[in-house]
């Protein structure tokens, strides 16, 4: 029956993990995975999450199905976290989702079915690898806009704005709300203002992907600047939220998808169609992780504790950026490594090419993606010097 099914290519990131596992070097380093590690290189469960989880268990809740749109207290708290006071929440149609990926997929499916404009979504070049797959599998056309400038290892701001202005009127523009993956390069607030103007000028539809709220700067409000600014400017965007990174709830698959509408009446119609879309996809979402997130967001004390823990994670990453740069300079590297500390979020785009990345793996047992992206979360005070030596050896 399946004689005609061709062998598909392996997932690029999972392939790295496999190569890493096979390597017997005692000081091998894996900078491929996009998950936070503590300074001992170990996965980290936030203490606020442990406490919230215990509260959920102690409440001895039943395991009945949630509604199609999930755990209501979670959804309303997630919306508040993202939008704060930038709008009246009755204008927002929102649903719990299978983390950020599921939110993007609901958005893709909804736009494919109902968006009245051009059903092409423009994503930054480069973008999170799964964006193309999620949106094209949703039946949307996927194109790219300029984002990263190889020469400056920074934002190609002029190129980005020019491309947004040149898109067919009424296109869909996907924007990383903060901590752009894979480059770690974010627009400044000033640049966001100009991007908002360009999106408005083109009559385009902004789709925000916010997978790292709080994880970039350590401040959930600051990281939501772009989203809230767009709303202030009169845009009615949609939003994919993930709690994988900022709560470390990766495998619990906690997220939300929301659409800002013109009125509560419009929100109700949109919500009815989102339900019709979700029902045959997965019927309703899992409840445990959403209950945990809700317990944190809904309790002032736990919420404050969580915010401090998010900030500690963000700060550790910022410290590792500084330490990597410092070590490279100490080794006498004549390259300019300032982008390592100016970039933000979980990843650093080193500017290393595929051959150098291959040398890093083969000769130094340092594993990361071929595009030169390293997960700064995988750097520790214990491995940073060896990492700098390896990078210096392949770039010196
Ligand atoms: N968007 C971006 C930009 C991401 O980096 C990620 C996580 N790697 C996601 C969405 C979604 O992740 P998840 O489905 O685990 O929430």
The pTM for the full model equals: 0.96
pLDDT for res 12: 75
Residue 244, ligand 1, Cβ within 6 A = yes
Please tell me the distance from the alpha carbon of residue 177 to that of residue 203, in angstroms, as a whole number. 19
**Are 110 and 208 members of one domain?**
yes
The CB of 101 under 6 Å from ligand 1? The reply is yes
Going by CA atoms, what residue is nearest to atom 5 of ligand 1? 181
Residues 247 and 340 in one domain: no
Instruction: Give kind and range of the element (H or E) at residue 356.
Output: helix 354-364
| DSSP state letter for 150 | T
Q: Tell me how far the alpha carbon of residue 97 lies from the centroid of ligand 1, in angstroms.
A: 12
Q: Whose CA is nearest to atom 8 of ligand 1?
A: 34
How many angstroms is it from 179 CA to the middle of ligand 1? 11
Helix (H) or strand (E) run with residue 384 in it: helix 384-395
CA of 211 from ligand 1 middle (Å) equals: 5
Predicted local distance difference test score (pLDDT) of residue 14: 77
How many angstroms does the Cα of residue 363 sit away from the middle of ligand 1? 31
Helix (H, G, I), strand (E, B) or coil at 249: coil
**Distance in angstroms (rounded) separating the CA atoms of residues 331 and 209:** 38
Q: Are residues 217 and 93 in the same domain?
A: yes
Ligand 1 centroid to Cα of residue 101, in Å, is 6
Q: Is residue 5 part of a domain?
A: no
Q: What is the CATH number of the domain that holds 134?
A: 3.40.640.10
**221 to each of 84, 113, 178, 185, 187, how far by Cα in Å?**
8, 32, 11, 18, 16
Q: 211, 216, 248, 256: which to mutate for ligand 1, most atoms within 8 A of CB?
A: 211
Q: Are residues 73 and 170 in the same domain?
A: yes
One domain, residues 144 and 283 = yes
100 CA to middle of ligand 1, Å? 5
Q: What is the residue with the minimal CA distance to atom 1 of ligand 1? A: 211
- Is 128 annotated as catalytic? yes
CB of 211 sitting under 6 A from ligand 1 = yes
Is there a contact between 362 and 298 (Cβ–Cβ < 8 Å)?
no
Phi (first) and psi of residue 144, to 5 degrees: -120, 150
Residue pair 241/260 in contact by the 8 Å Cβ criterion: no
Pocket lining: 96 vs ligand 1, CB cutoff 6 Å: no
Instruction: Give yes or no for a contact between 96 and 283, defined as CB atoms under 8 angstroms apart.
Output: no
Instruction: Tell me the CATH number at 24.
Output: 3.90.1150.10
- The verdict on whether 42 is a catalytic residue reads no
Tokens of residue 200, six digits: 């408005």
Per-residue confidence (pLDDT) for residue 55, from 0 to 100: 98
Residue 138 sits in the same domain as residue 183: yes
**Which positions of the chain have pLDDT values less than 50?**
none
Number of domains in the chain: 2
Task: State which of 298, 319, 353 marks the end of a domain.
Answer: 298
The whole-number pLDDT of residue 357 equals 95
The answer on 326 and 294 residing in a single domain is no
Distance of alpha carbon 370 from alpha carbon 16, whole angstroms: 10
Site to substitute for ligand 1 among 244, 346, 349, 376, most atoms within 8 A of C-beta = 244
**100 close to ligand 1 (CB < 6 Angstrom):** yes
Nearest protein CA to atom 4 of ligand 1, as residue = 211
The boundaries of the domain holding residue 209 are 65-298
> Which of 264, 298, 332 is the C-terminal boundary of a domain?
298
**Atom 16 in ligand 1: which residue has the minimum CA distance?**
100
Query: Which of 277, 298, 319 finishes a domain?
Result: 298
What ipTM was predicted for this assembly? 0.99
Rounded to 5 degrees, φ, ψ at 45 are: -100, 125
Residues 292 and 328 in one domain: no
- Give the three-state DSSP class for 287: coil
d(CA 380, CA 369): 19
Q: 109 is written with which tokens?
A: 């499916």
2 flagged as catalytic? no
Give the sign of the dihedral formed by CA 313, CA 244, CA 370, CA 339. negative
């Amino acid at each position: 029956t399946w004689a005609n099914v061709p062998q598909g290519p392996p997932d690029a990131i999972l392939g790295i993990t496999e190569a890493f596992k096979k390597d017997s070097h005692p000081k091998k380093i894996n900078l491929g995975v996009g998950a936070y590690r503590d300074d001992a290189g170990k996965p980290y469960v936030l203490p606020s999450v442990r406490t919230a989880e215990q509260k959920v268990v102690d409440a001895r809740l039943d395991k009945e199905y949630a509604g199609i749109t999930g755990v209501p207290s979670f959804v309303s708290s997630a919306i508040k976290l993202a939008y704060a006071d930038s709008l009246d929440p009755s204008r927002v149609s929102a649903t719990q989702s299978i983390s950020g990926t599921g939110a993007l997929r609901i958005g893709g499916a909804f736009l494919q079915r109902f968006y009245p404009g051009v059903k092409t979504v423009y994503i930054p070049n480069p973008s999170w690898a799964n964006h193309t797959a999620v949106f094209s599998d949703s039946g949307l056309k996927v194109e790219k806009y300029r984002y990263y400038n190889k020469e400056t290892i920074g934002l190609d701001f002029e190129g980005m704005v020019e491309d947004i202005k040149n898109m067919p009127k009424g296109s869909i523009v996907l924007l990383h709300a903060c901590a752009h993956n894979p480059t770690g390069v974010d627009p400044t607030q000033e640049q966001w203002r100009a991007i908002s103007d360009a999106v408005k000028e083109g009559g385009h539809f902004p789709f925000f992907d916010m997978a790292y709220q709080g994880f970039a700067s350590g401040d959930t409000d600051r990281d939501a600047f772009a989203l809230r600014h767009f709303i202030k400017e009169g845009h009615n965007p949609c939003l994919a939220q993930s709690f994988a990174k900022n709560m470390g709830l990766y495998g619990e698959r906690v997220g939300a998808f929301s659409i800002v509408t013109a009125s509560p009446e419009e929100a109700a119609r949109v919500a009815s169609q989102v339900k019709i879309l979700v029902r045959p996809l997965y019927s309703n979402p899992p409840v445990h992780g959403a209950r945990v997130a809700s317990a944190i967001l809904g309790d002032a004390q736990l919420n404050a504790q969580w915010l401090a823990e998010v900030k500690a994670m963000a700060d550790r990453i910022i410290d590792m950026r500084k330490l990597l740069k410092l070590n490279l300079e100490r080794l006498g590297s004549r390259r300019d490594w300032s982008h390592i500390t100016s970039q933000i979020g979980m990843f650093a785009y080193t500017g290393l090419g595929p051959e150098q990345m291959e040398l890093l793996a083969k000769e130094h047992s340092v594993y990361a993606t071929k595009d030169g992206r390293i997960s700064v979360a995988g750097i520790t005070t214990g491995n940073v010097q060896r990492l700098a030596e390896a990078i210096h050896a392949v770039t010196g």
